[in-house]
Homo-oligomer: A and B are copies of this chain.
Amino acid sequence: MRMGVSKTMSTLVDVHIEATELKRFCGDVFESLRLEKGDAVTAADVLVSADLRGIPSHGVGRLWRYVNGLRGGQMIPDACAETVSETDMSIVVDAKGQMGAPVSVRTMEAVIHKASEQGTAFGCVRNSNHFGIAGYYAMMALPHDMIGLTMTNTAALGVPTFGRQVMFGTNPLAFAVPADREEAFVLDMSTTVVSRGKLEVYDREAKELPMGWAVDKSGQTACDPGSILEDMFHRIGGGILPLGGINEEHGGYKGYGLAVMVDILCAVLGGAPCGPAISDTETTSARVSHFFGAIRIDRFRDAAGFRSDMDAMLAQLRSCPPAEGQEQVYYAGQKERLNERAYLEHGIPINGTTYSQLLEAADEQGVTPPSIVAR
């Protein structure tokens, strides 16, 4: 199963699949690739949670990458993660090349457990792989009346302010805060303007990039996604700009600084490679690092009062008068939760290309394909 997204397949019909069925299917695929039952269930839950929240770029559309990674040995299904160091408020875990999701869930669980006793705790995971949406782990803190924090570095594709070579990844961070009647505040963002996936979409559609997304090998703003991706991949020069864009006029040094901050907390604090040392090649997957944190709210104030004040803040934000031509102001996590509710009720929309990949995976791995919702 070596496909990316093929153009000829985009004419296939979109379907809806129930979340539980999609999880069952992904779990079966992971089990067929020698993951333990519990890890397979966890990896499936993280993957499908992205689709549920309306972030298909990190959902089952990536299943083929995990399948290839597990088959090709870049992800090691039965690697035994090792705790490198541990105190009552910290843990550093070496994932030994495991899939990212299971080791990340276990580490965030440990962080939450430590925080429940110590008030706050942090954990680093190194030598890991793509872990899906960062928000998943940050949100694990919510039922415990904690603030959750997640970061990860990724293969380098971001160019620093005034530079022309990649020096950091999209390096996302997620920050989750419980509310009461309102949805939880869940910020889940890369620290670059866009991700590589966005450039790939523009390349497939033969569209020019907006100014301020990327630079070419000379370090100037450039709009041809194909040549940027090519030169970036071969480290000839050029890459994606940090949040804030090129140079300093719109604050590009801020996104650059945030990306490095994420790299420090994930990789340098965890004792792992960072920056341009993190790369995907044709045959190997990046060995990325993650960072997790949790803070107990009731160490600062009554948690119920906090949640009630969060309600007031978030209600005020979504009541902000919209700009002319816009319908509504949202707060972080609000749209995603609306998607989740709708998709839990009506099934998750899966585009035809992705669905055909799922059927192919089912066939190759000998698992029951996902049943679709009758329309």
Contacts and interface: CB of A to CB of B under 8 A. Distances in A.
A89 B254 CA distance: 29
Nearest to A295: B122
B164 A324 contact: yes
Interface in A294-311: 295, 297, 299-301, 305-306, 309-310
Nearest to A149: B261
Contacts of A219: 321-326
Contacts of A22: none
A342 interface: no
A256 B122 CA distance: 25
A325 B162 CA distance: 9
Contacts of A263: 313
Interface in A141-163: 147, 160-163
Given A164-B323, A320-B165, A301 B271 contact: yes
Nearest to A168: B317
A100 interface: no
Contacts of A161: 329-330
A87 B119 contact: yes
Given A268-B306, A271-B305, 12 more contacts: A85-B300, A89-B89, A124-B300, A167-B317, A167-B320, A177-B264, A194-B251, A218-B324, A219-B325, A243-B243, A250-B250, A274-B313
Q: Which 7 pairs between the two chains have the least Cβ-Cβ distance?
A: A219-B323, A187-B257, A163-B320, A162-B326, A89-B119, A257-B332, A90-B299
22 contacts: A87-B119, A89-B119, A89-B120, A120-B120, A120-B122, A122-B300, A160-B317, A161-B329, A162-B323, A164-B324, A187-B258, A189-B251, A189-B254, A218-B324, A219-B321, A219-B325, A245-B245, A260-B317, A264-B310, A269-B300, A269-B306, A271-B306
